[in-house]
Amino acid sequence: MQYSSGRSPTTPLYIGLVITLLAVVGYSWYVTHRIASLRELQNNLIDRNRKDSLQLLRIQNELNSIGMSLHGMLEIDPTDTGPRYPLTAWQPQFERMREDLEDAFRREQQFSPAGRTPEQQRYLESSRAQFWDAVDRIFGVARNGQEQEARAQIRLSLQARLAALSNAVARLLVENNESEERAAAQVTEIYDRVERQGYIFLVGTLAAIVLTSLYLIRSNRLLFNRLETLSAQRSELAQTLISTQESTLRYISRELHDEFGQILTAMGAMLGRARNLAPENSELRKDLVEVREIAQSTLDKVRSLSQALHPVMLDEAGLEHTIEWYLPVVERQTGIGISYEKSGTPFAISGDSAVHIYRVLQEALNNVTRHSGAKKAWVRLHFGSSRLELEVEDRGSGFSADGRRSGLGMVAMRERAELLGGSISFQTPASGGTVVRLTVPKESISHESQEAHA
């Protein structure tokens, strides 16, 4: 089965992250800019217009007071045909009103909006200057005793100038109100625009999140499919290697047991006959005895090696008897005391299954010997009604932090458990040590079940 390695999703995900961050930064800058515009609009236009309008209202009140004073200057005493007060009596009051009005104009000029034209400002200043020049001339005429002429100038000129000045102030108030309305409309527009942009950004962000999530899900699915395929290929390869290994070991074991064993046995017999033909107490007889002993020792080693590679007993006597033979051998070779417990009703186990179970036991005891440092181990074999359990326990060092006890042996045990259709676990009890537990369904290893299935 061919499988394309594909392209790593890291680069597209990084690109998506950068685009998202740029979008967030860009939208943050946009919102900040809009808020700054609102603040500038609030401070430079609305607040200034409001303060300017207050000063214009003050000016308008002052102008109304001046108008009332002018009206009082023209009143006639009801008991007499002449005026109620001489015009020169009004001059101190006009001086005070002039100071108040000039102060109001100075303050108003500080808050005048930026949209006011220089022509409007010059018109206000010239109208005000002309009005007060006219007031000074009227009081000058009145001081010269020409009050009738002075009152005539009030009616004909001064009231008209005051009305013109009042109209100019009123127009400025109207312009301020219109400017405030325009500013309010701009604020509303900015809020609406920011709100629309916020919705657009939210939709875009959600779309980016959805697309990124879908891409990530798809990438993970492809990755998991790839891992599953690689895992299946690895398991298949491991099982093939294990099968090949067992076939090779079985072949070598048989060759050693049959061929070399027979050859060494024949050599021993021939050496025995040759020894009998040699004279007593001769050097030849002694050499033949020594060579025959060497041949016998070699035969024993060949048989032991044959048993280690593939116990013939598995094929001849089955798993139980092989375990009962093997555990004392391990005790003699390693010096580790092994306690063996068998429980349940035994059932026949197929040859290949027996080999895998025996190899798991062999590897577990090898780990006890090499890594645990324990001087005692427990082997438990339980024949259940529906499964077989093999357990190997030691009270040694357990699994170390550097993973000394994990390696190819544990991988091989897991693969053999999968071949048997069972499971294997490696546990560290609270009391320390290690427990290796192999659990295999009876139907997958039972000799009778396999024959019935066949």
- Domains of the chain, by residue range, sit at 10-215, 311-453
Q: Are residues 216 and 13 in contact, defined by beta-carbon separation less than 8 angstroms? A: yes
- DSSP letter (8 states) at residue 374: -
When the pLDDT of each residue in the chain is averaged and rounded to a whole number, the result is 80
Give the model's pLDDT for residue 78: 57
Query: What's the CA gap between 171 and 179, in Å, rounded?
Result: 12
Question: Residues near 30 by Cβ (< 8 Å), separated by ≥ 6?
Answer: 197
Q: Is the pLDDT of residue 80 over 60?
A: no
Sign of CA dihedral 126, 129, 131, 133: negative
**DSSP 3-state of 429:** coil
Q: Is the pLDDT of residue 412 over 50?
A: yes
> Between these two residues, 19 and 44, which has the higher pLDDT value?
19
- DSSP letter (8 states) at residue 441: E
Nearest to residue 289, comparing CAs of 272, 302, 310? 272
Give the model's pLDDT for residue 6: 53
Quickly tell me which residue has 């609305």 as its tokens.
46
Q: Is the pLDDT of residue 408 over 80?
A: no
Q: What angle do CA 423, 426, 431 make, to 5 degrees?
A: 140
CA 430, distance to chain mean position in Å, is 35
Query: What's the CA gap between 330 and 224, in Å, rounded?
Result: 43
Tokens at residue 90, please? Answer: 């009004």
pLDDT in tens, 200-256: 878 888 888 888 888 888 888 888 888 888 877 877 777 777 778 777 877 787 777
Give the model's pLDDT for residue 114: 66
Q: What is the mean pLDDT of residues 25-35?
A: 77
> Between these two residues, 443 and 313, which has the higher pLDDT value?
443
Instruction: Give the model's confidence band at 319: pLDDT under 50 very low, under 70 low, under 90 confident, else very high.
Output: confident
Neighbours of 409 (CB within 10 A): 18
Give the model's pLDDT for residue 79: 55
Q: Is the pLDDT of residue 82 over 60?
A: no
Query: What's the CA gap between 100 and 26, in Å, rounded?
Result: 52
Give the model's pLDDT for residue 404: 46
- The b-or-e profile of 10-31 (16+ CB within 10 A means b, else e) is eeeeeebeeeeeeeeeebeeee
Query: What's the CA gap between 379 and 391, in Å, rounded?
Result: 6
Is CATH 3.30.565.10 correct for 311-453? yes
pLDDT in tens, 182-198: 777 877 887 788 788 77
Instruction: Give the model's confidence band at 115: pLDDT under 50 very low, under 70 low, under 90 confident, else very high.
Output: low
